[in-house]
Amino acid sequence: MTFHSNGFSALTKGRSMMLAAALAASTAIVPAGTALAQDEAETITAVMHSGLRVLDPIITTAHITRNHGYMIYDVLIAVNENFEVQPQMADFEVSEDGLTYTFTLRDGLMFHDGEPVTAADAVASLKRWGERDSGGQLIFDVTASLEATDDKTVTWTLNEPFTPLLDIVAKQSAVPPFIMPARIAETSADEAITEYVGSGPFTFVEEEFEPGVSVTYEKFADYVPREEPADWMAGGKVVNVDRVVWTTMPDAQTAINALVSGEIDYLEQAQIDLLPILQASPDLTVEVRDPLGFQTMGRMNFKYPPFDDEKIRQAALMAISQENVLATLVGNPEYYSLCGAIFGCGTPLADETGSDTLKSGGDAEAARALLEEAGYDNTPVVLMQPTDVVTLTAQPVVVAQALRDAGFNVDMQAMDWQTLVTRRASQSAPADGGWNIFFTNWSVPEISSPLINPMVNGRGDDAWFGWPEDPALEELRAEFIAADGAEAQAEVAQRIQAHVLETVNYIPLGQYLTVQARSNKMVDMIQQPVPVFWQVDKTE
């Protein structure tokens, strides 16, 4: 994975002026009302990458909603930092023939409403998750039965062996199988839940929730953590603070000022241009959370023109330059790399077949010729542009210009990220509130395999947003499952890579690193891709 210099200076003018202004303002007082007044010794105030509006962690893959899920829900099993499956809510056994998985709930599990967690709750939660999650769908394809054989025992029986089952159920993202009370989990997987009762280490303080602005969590006094040390999503989730407050500050300079002045304790994603301000403070820790970082990507809507036409999708891909996107998004080439691998560079299945034009700067002339060959009729491309997430503001602007240069009629519509998250689930026509293309980011571990990568799903309406109907892709995924050994899997993964780039299932736009910053008063924060607030303590 190699790093590349900034070759898109025309779109990055003013960076030095902005940095100088930010440095001058770094000691400014945060405007009244931006920080929540709580006992500093017991409350962590955090600025996350986005405001929170969608509260159901099963109907969306939005990271902020996943993070919310980890605060208030728990999972049956989880992975440690070595990606080894560990017991969490339940111990597990696998029969010798690989057809029966038995999960036994541990003692002391309690929902926030005071009711005990039962196997029936787990079964209902797993079934709802299995309707939405790409890997879960694969498991349920071969499921004979999933039932609670008593209050503490879940028995999952398969029609045929499915070796990755534990890895998929234990994955940390994108849609973890969070356990909810059965009455809530029985909500249709196509509808959002309206009650937010978990059994995790924190409770959701609904009366203090301001959608998109602020969300408050309190320590769940009756949570019984595991005895093992915390290790990524596994181990003992010991809470050492009374409250955690997520407050929204869309302006990067305001958030950095707040952290420097001590108004907040934690900033999930610091803007790279402004890192010198944070690095200059002896009271802050500034660090890269995950060495693999994130993949940024674009997804098209397969249901409606113009991207229901494969040639037009290919023309769009041909027009786009990863370098232009990343240079504008990140700026400093130390923090980004060109990468055309759909499973992420630096992973066992990395392959970059089909990404030549993406990595070489795009080819507007060839894209225009292909667009004319496809008979493009100037149908508007509704491109959704989030304006309030620092890691998602550049991609729409850069890509919109590249598409226009290739001859597309682009209708770029600005909105906040949570509005986009809601709108991307709509299957309405673009002219009726739908969309044609949007951009998002994934941590590399959550896209590193055909079993868990949400985009590599060809099940039409049951696929991820964009809804490609692609039987050939589903056959390739089945081949991957059946492949004997790492070498055979890598060969199938390479064919999936080629197929995805040929059909333009989605457009990988490269990888970048995120930098978090926190007050030195926050100690023992777990170093992992998902920001969690157990184990961490706050000192004076």
DSSP-derived pairing of the beta strands 266-267 and 515-519 = antiparallel
Q: What is the pLDDT of residues 244-276, one digit of tens each?
A: 999 999 888 999 999 999 999 999 999 898 999
DSSP-derived pairing of the beta strands 336-337 and 294-300 = unpaired
Terminal C-alpha separation, the chain: 41
Q: What is the CA radius of gyration of the chain?
A: 23
Please compute the mean of the pLDDT values over residues 366-390 and round it to a whole number: 96
Give the whole-number percent of the chain exceeding pLDDT 90: 83
Please compute the mean of the pLDDT values over residues 7-19 and round it to a whole number: 36
Q: What is the pLDDT of residues 177-206, one digit of tens each?
A: 999 999 999 999 999 999 999 999 999 999
At residue 22 the predicted structure's pLDDT band, cuts being 50, 70 and 90, is very low
At residue 540 the predicted structure's pLDDT band, cuts being 50, 70 and 90, is confident
Task: For tokens 């504008």, name the residue.
Answer: 328
CA proximity to 151, closest of 203, 115, 98: 115
pLDDT at 230: 93
* Contact present, 535 and 238 (Cβ < 8 Å): yes
* Contact present, 356 and 350 (Cβ < 8 Å): no
Q: What is the C-alpha to C-alpha distance for residues 3 and 237, in angstroms, rounded to an integer?
A: 37
At residue 1 the predicted structure's pLDDT band, cuts being 50, 70 and 90, is very low
- Whether the predicted pLDDT of 33 surpasses 50: no
Please compute the mean of the pLDDT values over residues 297-308 and round it to a whole number: 98
- Whether the predicted pLDDT of 58 surpasses 80: yes
CA proximity to 72, closest of 234, 229, 219: 219
CA proximity to 12, closest of 404, 397, 512, 297: 397
pLDDT at 82: 86
* Contact present, 438 and 455 (Cβ < 8 Å): no
- Whether the predicted pLDDT of 386 surpasses 90: yes
DSSP-derived pairing of the beta strands 437-443 and 515-519 = unpaired
The class (CATH top level) of 297-512 is alpha beta
**Other beta carbons within 10 Å of 540:** 5
CA proximity to 138, closest of 489, 486, 450, 492: 450
pLDDT at 103: 98
Q: Cα 175–178–180 angle (5° rounding)?
A: 140
* Contact present, 270 and 512 (Cβ < 8 Å): no
pLDDT at 471: 97
- Whether the predicted pLDDT of 432 surpasses 50: yes
Longest dimension (CA), the chain: 67
pLDDT at 256: 93
Which three-class secondary structure state does DSSP give residue 15?
helix
* Contact present, 54 and 418 (Cβ < 8 Å): yes
Determine which of 13-17, 443-447, 505-509 has the lowest per-residue pLDDT on average: 13-17
Please compute the mean of the pLDDT values over residues 332-350 and round it to a whole number: 95
CA proximity to 99, closest of 143, 150, 134: 143
Please compute the mean of the pLDDT values over residues 126-151 and round it to a whole number: 96
Give the whole-number percent of the chain exceeding pLDDT 70: 92
CATH 3.90.76.10 fits 63-213, yes or no: yes
At residue 218 the predicted structure's pLDDT band, cuts being 50, 70 and 90, is very high
Q: What is the C-alpha to C-alpha distance for residues 15 and 45, in angstroms, rounded to an integer?
A: 28
pLDDT at 53: 92
Give the start-to-end residue ranges of the domains of the chain.
Answer: 63-213, 297-512
- Whether the predicted pLDDT of 416 surpasses 70: yes
Task: For tokens 């900033």, name the residue.
Answer: 267
Mean pLDDT of the chain: 91
